[in-house]
Structure 1
Amino acid sequence: MTISQASQVVLFKPQGSIDLQGGTTLSEQMAEVAPRPEQLWVIDLAEVDFLDSSGLVPLVKTLTTARQNGCRLVLCNVKAPVRLILELTQLDSVFEIFNTYEDILNNVNEKPLALAS
């Protein structure tokens, strides 16, 4: 997984599957980044082909942590199989999902950084 941080944007790029093992790895790596108020956390799922129920846990925990610390967490580049899991679990209505990373940046540039509530 790749993690990059530019000003108030923290970008996570997991790879492969987010299952029990991949989810644990994702959780550990995301825990290494200390959330700060008004940060934008982006999870770019472009290289994730599979997500199962055990992989949903770290995503939901990270969303909760982000919100508790005044951060906004969004997903982008969600492939069809992963989007299906999010839709079946109705988490697509909980997470902000953008088609591309550029869409997120355009959204943030057009209006002030809105915090998730």
Structure 2
Amino acid sequence: MTFTLERQVTLFKPEGRMDLQGGNALSQKIAAVVPAPGQIWVIDLVKVDFMDSSGLVSLVKGLKTARQHNCHLVICNVTAAVRLVLELTHLDSVFDIFNTYEDVLNIIEDKSLVVAS
């Protein structure tokens, strides 16, 4: 898993399976971030080919943490298998989902992405 920080965007790129091990790895990376109000946390799922309930828990915990610190968490590049899990659990209506990372950056540059307070 890689993650980078540029501008006020923190990018997480988990890989492989978002099961217990992958979900815990993502949760640890999120916990290591020093949040600043207004930050955008992007979870790029382009390399995630499987997600189970443990992966969903890590996403929801990340969203809760982001909101507590006045940050905004979005996900992008959701594969078909992961999108199906998000739709079946109705979490697709909870998360802001973008097609690509570039789409997220474009919205940020347009300043039309509002951080929930």
Q: Does TM, scored on the shorter chain, surpass 0.5? A: yes
The one-letter code of the counterpart of 2:22 is G
Partner of 1:25: 25
Gaps of 5+ in 1: none
Gaps of 5+ in 2: none
Please tell me whether residue 53 in structure 1 is matched to residue 50 in structure 2. Answer: no
Q: What pairs up with 1:99-114 in 2 under 5 angstroms?
A: 99-114=99-114
CA RMSD of aligned residues (A): 1.0
Partner of 2:5: 5
Deviations 1:57-114 (A, max 9, x none): 1110010010110001000000000000000000000000000001111111122441
- Equivalent position SS for 2:34: coil
State TM-score, norm by structure 2. Answer: 0.96
Contact persistence 1:2–1:12 (CA under 8 A): yes
The one-letter code of the counterpart of 2:106 is N
1:33 CA displacement: 0.7
Matched length: 117
State TM-score, norm by structure 1. Answer: 0.96
- Equivalent position SS for 2:10: strand
Where in structure 1 do 4 or more consecutive aligned residues deviate above 6 Å? none
**Separation (CA, whole Å) in 2 of partners of 1:67 and 1:41:** 11
- Equivalent position SS for 2:70: coil
Contact persistence 1:73–1:116 (CA under 8 A): no
Contact persistence 1:43–1:75 (CA under 8 A): yes
Contact persistence 1:19–1:51 (CA under 8 A): yes
1:7 CA displacement: 1.8
**Separation (CA, whole Å) in 2 of partners of 1:6 and 1:43:** 14
